[in-house]
A and B are shown apart, each in its own frame.
Chain A
Amino acid sequence: MGRALRHALAIAGKDLRMELRTRTSLLSAAVFAALVLMVFNFARDPTAVATVDLAPSILWVTVTFASVVAMNRAFTVERENGAFDGLLLAPVSRESLYLGKYLANLAFVLIVEAITLPLFVLFFNLDLGGALPGLLLTLLLATIGFVAVGTVFSAMVAKTRFAELMLPILLLPFMVPPLIFAVKTTVPLFAGRPLSDVLPGLRFLALYDVAFVTLSVLLFSAVVDE
């Protein structure tokens, strides 16, 4: 167990180091998120709809699209110079390989979210107040689940033509159920409702995480082994 985890961390570390040195995908995903927020600002009529009513949708739509952009890179970078064959030949179990890629993806998406959230608060003039801890927990729980699925799918689409378009087509249906619950959690949080209104949504997100992280670990070897 210890060795598998060490291997996973080594792979995740490699991905993060690569990204921190080039900064291309992280930067583009963050800029993309900021642009989506900007588009939202002009796509609504501030006199007709109060910002706080629209805020949960804006946040989650932005997070959804920025995450897909961020996840696309995980396996497309491995296509160059047959790097992926090298990874497959390394004396590392498939589970560790998946876990490493998953942790790197998770870190990326969380970084993108960490950039998006303050921008969102700034652009829409929101006072999060006591909602912040609950919101962070919701973001974390939702992200853990859909990044697990996204990592498996990004390994599949890396072997197809037009991979960048294929990932959202496959992944968005899987992102909608957690999204529905994240929004259902965010609305009462922003309205300052008690914790009991938020718990069912969080519980659902946790259930989704357990189911899809397990399933993804189990199915990943079917994706990479011929």
Chain B
Amino acid sequence: MTPDAARARSLMTRGVVLTVLALIGQAAVMLLAIQFTPVEARQGMAQKIFYVHVPAAVIALWVAVPLTAFAGLLYLWLHDPRLDRFAAASAEVATVLCGIVLATGPIWGKPIWGTWWTWDGRLTLTLFLFFLLLGYHTLRAAIRDPGDRARFSAVLGVMGLVLVPFIHLSVYLWRGLHPQPVVLKPSAPSLPPEMLRTLLSGFAVAFLLYVGFVTLRYGIQLARDAREAAHAG
């Protein structure tokens, strides 16, 4: 076994362990949300989705997507294949998290807003990112040469990063329906302590899930590259 293949194996093991821990944590957060957190007075049980939806959205939009773009930018400068592997792994997890956000949102939206979907600024932005990420994966899948694949996806990532403020500008001109932030805002969090505790556990678990998934995907990609190199050499 080559050193890369051995390293890939240990990364995959670590990734699986972290992912399993995160999934157990996710179950615990759901239990905490349903059993041990007070029911919101006006929204009732529908509000429980908040503890999954918001952490997934924050980790996707503020961690996974920017890290993908920055890893791409650094790749264009340093040409280090590790950066490309990380960008690809992070983009995959971002896609999953965006999918979770886009799936849980309507479940809440239907009882509270009376509609599954609306072209509100935040919804549109998330949908845009989801499509950009799908384009990113489609592009990667269509290129065989690893060097081309890394450079092209890095270019797309950087372009996407610049596009985000423009999407933001263009979709926020419409007044939104989406609730305003209750925790990450300039004044103090306006959430009762029990709810805040559950939400923060949700954040921790979503972040752990991100780290676990990325480690696992990175390991798989490393194993693939090692195999390709073994076949080529």
Contacts and interface: CB of A to CB of B under 8 A. Distances in A.
Interface of A: 149, 152-153, 156-157, 159-162, 166, 169-170, 172-174, 176-177, 180-181, 184, 204, 207-208, 211-212, 215, 219, 222-223, 226
A222 B151 contact: yes
26 contacts: A149-B159, A152-B155, A152-B159, A156-B139, A156-B156, A160-B139, A160-B143, A162-B142, A169-B138, A170-B156, A173-B128, A173-B131, A174-B159, A176-B167, A176-B170, A177-B167, A180-B171, A204-B169, A204-B170, A215-B162, A219-B76, A219-B155, A222-B76, A222-B155, A223-B151, A226-B147
Contacts of A174: 159, 163
Interface string B165-182: 011011101000000000
B158 interface: yes
Contact of A211 (B132, B145, B166): B166
A207 B170 CA distance: 12
Contacts of B171: 180
A176 B128 CA distance: 9
A13 B173 CA distance: 41
B152 interface: yes
Given A215-B158, A219-B158, A222-B76, A177 B139 contact: no
B154 interface: yes
B148 A226 contact: yes
Contacts of A159: 143, 145, 148, 152
B38 interface: no
A171 to B, nearest CB: 9
B44 interface: no
A173 B143 contact: no
B171 to A, nearest CB: 7
A143 to B, nearest CB: 16
Contacts of B166: 177, 204, 207-208, 211
B111 interface: no
Contact of B132 (A162, A173, A208, A223): A173
A119 B154 CA distance: 40
Contact of B163 (A160, A166, A173): A173
A223 B128 contact: no
Given A156-B152, A184-B173, 13 more contacts: A152-B155, A152-B159, A159-B148, A160-B143, A166-B138, A172-B131, A173-B163, A174-B159, A176-B170, A180-B171, A211-B162, A215-B159, A226-B147
A162 B173 CA distance: 36
A177 B159 contact: no
Nearest to B156: A170
Contacts of B132: 173
B135 interface: yes
Contacts of A172: 131
Contacts of A180: 170-171
A125 to B, nearest CB: 30
